[in-house]
């Protein structure tokens, strides 16, 4: 399966700032997905990132808060904007490969003070 590298692995940020999370895949993939896991909660899909088009956001998530870039078939970024303590979560990128299995990066542990 593809190798998914996610950076940073963790960060501590101040309220009101923004953080950009990078996801690099070692092979070309059509669809990439961004998930959030809040403390003690399960994973929730934020958006689907397609190359060459705008990301598709799930209910409750908006582009102004979570802008996504997908410049090519191996790379995507998720920005968490104007952060508040409620944004403290693990953010994970994922890809589909080999049928409909999803594979995940190692995640970014974000803490907002």
Partner 1 sequence: KQEVTQIPAALSVPEGENLVLNCSFTDSAIYNLQWFRQDPGKGLTSLLLIQSSQREQTSGRLNASLDKSSGRSTLYIAASQPGDSATYLCAGANAGGTSYGKLTFGQGTILTVHP
**Does 43 help bind partner 1 (rule: CB under 8 A)?**
yes
Bridge-based pairing state of the strands 75-80 and 19-25: antiparallel
**Does 44 help bind partner 1 (rule: CB under 8 A)?**
yes
Closest to partner 1 by CB, 52 or 99: 99
**Does 69 help bind partner 1 (rule: CB under 8 A)?**
no
Yes or no: say if 105 and 8 are a contact pair by the CB < 8 Å rule: no
**Does 11 help bind partner 1 (rule: CB under 8 A)?**
no
Yes or no: say if 107 and 91 are a contact pair by the CB < 8 Å rule: yes
Q: What SS3 class is residue 79?
A: strand
Among 2, 22, 103, 111, binds partner 1 (CB under 8 A): 103
């Amino acid at each position: 399966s593809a190798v998914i590298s996610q950076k940073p692995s963790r960060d501590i940020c101040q309220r009101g700032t923004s953080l950009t999370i990078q996801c690099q895949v070692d092979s070309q993939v059509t669809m990439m997905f961004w998930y959030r896991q809040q403390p003690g909660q399960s994973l929730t899909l934020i958006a689907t990132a397609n190359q060459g088009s705008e990301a598709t956001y799930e209910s409750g998530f908006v582009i102004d808060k979570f802008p996504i870039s997908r410049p090519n078939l191996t790379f995507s970024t998720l920005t968490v904007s104007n952060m508040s303590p409620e944004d403290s979560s693990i953010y994970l990128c994922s890809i589909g490969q080999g049928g409909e299995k999803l594979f995940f990066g190692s995640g970014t542990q974000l803490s907002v003070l």
